[in-house]
Amino acid sequence: MLKRFYPDVYMDSAYEIDYEGLYEKGYRGIIFDIDNTLVPHGAPADARSIELFKRLRDIGYESLLLSNNKEPRVRSFSEKVNSRYIYKANKPFPKSYQKAMELMGTTAGTTFFVGDQLFTDVWGAGKIGIFTYLVKPINPKEEIQIVLKRYLERIVLFFYLRNERKQGKK
Give the CB-side neighbour count of residue 102, counting CA atoms within 13 A.
Answer: 7
H or E stretch including 9? strand 9-11
The per-residue pLDDT for 26 is 98
The per-residue pLDDT for 53 is 98
What mean pLDDT is reported for the chain? 92
pLDDT band at 14 (very low <50, low <70, confident <90, very high): very high
- The total of other beta-carbon atoms located within 10 Å of residue 166's CB is 9
Give the CB-side neighbour count of residue 149, counting CA atoms within 13 A.
Answer: 13
Q: How far is CA 11 from the centre of its chain?
A: 11
Q: Is the pLDDT of residue 170 over 70?
A: no
The per-residue pLDDT for 154 is 81
What pTM was computed for the model? 0.89
Burial status of residue 3 (CB atoms within 10 A of its CB: 0-12, 13-18, 19 or more): exposed
The per-residue pLDDT for 153 is 83
Q: 119 near 31, Cβ under 8 Å?
A: no
The per-residue pLDDT for 145 is 64
Q: Is the pLDDT of residue 2 over 80?
A: no
pLDDT band at 96 (very low <50, low <70, confident <90, very high): very high
Q: Is the pLDDT of residue 144 over 70?
A: no
Per the model's pLDDT, the better-predicted residue between 147 and 168 turns out to be: 168
Convert the pLDDT of each residue in 39-92 to its tens digit: 999 999 999 999 999 999 999 999 999 999 999 999 999 999 999 999 999 999
